[in-house]
């Protein structure tokens, strides 16, 4: 998980937060997952709250779909839920 990029979407009152991760496959397909993240001391707990990986042919489309999923799961979040675009991690680069 150390190479997972996370963009915070919102913070809860207990200090945990909702985050999104965006990746790009070698084939150019973008995928997103939404996590609940709790950091306690040296330990970070991740819970994937999306039932499946959201994917699309464009980064923004995948992120918008993941945002919609988070908005459905947390309808009372309102304007505190950060809207796309988010960070992207393209994965490890092949040696040239």
Tens-place pLDDT, residues 29-87: 898 999 999 999 899 999 999 877 788 999 999 999 999 999 999 999 888 999 999 98
8 A C-beta contact, residue 18 and residue 34: yes
Residue 3 has pLDDT above 60, yes or no: no
Under a CB-based contact definition with an 8 Å cutoff, are residues 8 and 19 in contact? Answer: yes
Spatial neighbors of 16 by CB under 8 A, at least 6 apart, are 36, 37, 38, 39
| Confidence (pLDDT) at 67 | 94
When pLDDT is cut at 50, 70 and 90, the band that residue 24 belongs to is confident
Pick the CATH number of 7-80 from 3.30.160, 2.30.30, 3.30.1310, 1.10.10: 3.30.160
Domain ranges of the chain: 7-80
């Amino acid at each position: 998980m150390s190479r997972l990029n996370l963009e915070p979407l919102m913070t809860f009152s207990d200090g945990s937060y909702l985050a999104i991760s965006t990746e790009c496959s070698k084939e150019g397909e973008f995928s997103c997952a939404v996590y609940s993240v709790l950091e306690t001391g040296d330990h970070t707990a991740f819970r994937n709250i999306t039932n499946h990986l959201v994917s699309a042919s464009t980064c923004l489309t995948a992120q918008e779909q993941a945002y919609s999923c988070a908005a459905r799961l947390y309808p009372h979040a309102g304007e505190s839920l950060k809207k796309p675009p988010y960070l992207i991690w393209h994965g490890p680069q092949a040696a040239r």
